[in-house]
Amino acid sequence: MTVMDTGNTLTIDTRAEELYSPAFWHTHFPKLSINTHLQSWDRDTGVLPSDTRRLLTERMLEEGYFQDRNETFARYAPLLAEAVFTCKTLDIPPAFIFLFDETWKCFYSLTPMLTHFLGKDYRVLPDFWTWHVDPAQGEAGWRPHRDKGRQALGPDNVPLSLTVWAPLTEAHPQNGCMYILPANRDPVYGTEREKDWKVELPLIRALPGVPGEYFCWNQAVLHWGSATTRFAKHPRLSMALEFQRGDMKAFNTPLIQPFTNLRFEDRLKLVGKQILQYKHMYPLAARFEQLAQRLVG
C-alpha cells in the first residue's frame, strides 16, 4: 500500500483512485460510517451546569487550559483507536479518521462547552490531526509551539479560538503525553515576546489522560508532545480539532459550520489540506505531499 515513489505519476494516480473510492473505506473500516450518522445527529446538546461553566472559565483564564471527560469520546475512542491502527497498517496518515462520522460526532458533542467560550455561532477550523506515536520506534509528539499565538486572545485574555485534544489510548509520560506551560507560569504569554520562551522547568505540567477525557487549551499557550521511552507498553494515539469564534476573521479557511454533514469528497479535501499544512511536523505526511495535492485538487 505504500507510495514507493512519489515522483511516479502512475503510482500516485492509482493510490488517489483507491482513496477516492468509498468502497475502500467501507472495506477496511467496516465499523465506522461516512455520511450516515450525522444525518440524524441530535443538535439539542444542552448547556453546561453553572458550576461547571464557572470552573472551566476560571481554569481557562488562569492557566489557559482545562481537562474534562465526555461520554461520547469514551464511547467512540476504542473504534477510532482501531481505525488509527488500521491506517498504520495501510501506511496512510492517521488523519484519515476524519473521514468518519464518529470522529466529528465526538467533537460536536462538546458544543455546550464550545458555545460557552466561543459563542453560539462558533465555527470549526480546517485544522486537525491524528497521532500514532510509537515508543518502539523512538517517536515523539510535536515540538513546543503555540497554535495561533497571542492573536488568538481577546481583551482580558479571553480565548478567540480553542484546540481540543483527546487521547484514544492512555497517554502518559512514557508514551509521549502532552506537556504544557500554564499561562500563569509563562512570563511571555500573550506578549510580543511570545516566541522568546522563558521556561522554568519545575513549572512545566504533564497532561496524562485516558480515553474518554479531553484537553482544551486556548491557542496562545505553549505546549508539546513529549519523547517516548522504549519501555512504554503501547503507542500514544490521539486526535485534535480546532475552533474559533464565528464573528471574527477566519484564522484559516474554509470555516465549517458545526454539524455540517460534509460530503465524502469534501472530507477528503480537508484531510489532504492537513497533510500539506503539517508535513513539516509529521514525516508520514511529508511522504504523501503529492498525493495530498491531488486530493485537494
Q: Rounded CA gap, 18 and 12, in Å?
A: 10
| CATH number of the domain to which 155 belongs | 2.60.120.620
**Is 70 within a domain?**
yes
Question: Per the structure, how many domains does the chain have?
Answer: 1
**Is 17 within a domain?**
no
**Is 138 within a domain?**
yes
Contact 293, 272 (CB under 8 A): yes
**Is 6 within a domain?**
no
Question: How many CA atoms does the CB half-sphere of 173 hold within 13 Å?
Answer: 4
**Is 230 within a domain?**
yes
**Is 27 within a domain?**
no
Element (H, E) at 248: none
The structure's pTM equals: 0.93
Q: Rounded CA gap, 122 and 248, in Å?
A: 10
Question: What pLDDT, in 10s, does the model give residues 209-259?
Answer: 999 999 999 999 999 999 999 999 999 999 999 999 999 999 999 999 999
State the cell numbers at 88: 498504520
Element (H, E) at 79: helix 71-90
Element (H, E) at 294: helix 289-296
What is 94-152 written as a DSSP string? GGGGGGSHHHHHHHHTTHHHHHHHH-TT-EEEEEEEEEEE-GGGT-B-PPSB-SSGGGG
Q: What percent of the chain has pLDDT over 70?
A: 92
**Max alpha carbon distance in the chain (Å)?**
58
Range of the domain at 227: 46-260
Q: Rounded CA gap, 88 and 92, in Å?
A: 6
- Which residues sit opposite 223 in a β-bridge? 145, 180
Question: What pLDDT, in 10s, does the model give residues 188-216?
Answer: 999 999 999 989 999 999 999 999 999 99
- Above 80 in pLDDT, residue 104? yes
Question: What pLDDT, in 10s, does the model give residues 48-72?
Answer: 999 999 999 999 999 999 999 999 9
Residue with cell 517516548: 228
Write down the pLDDT at residue 42.
60
Contact 177, 226 (CB under 8 A): yes
- Above 70 in pLDDT, residue 44? no
**Is 83 within a domain?**
yes
State the cell numbers at 292: 495530498
Residues 291-296 have a mean pLDDT of: 90
pLDDT-derived band at 127, boundaries 50, 70, 90? very high
Q: Rounded CA gap, 192 and 42, in Å?
A: 43
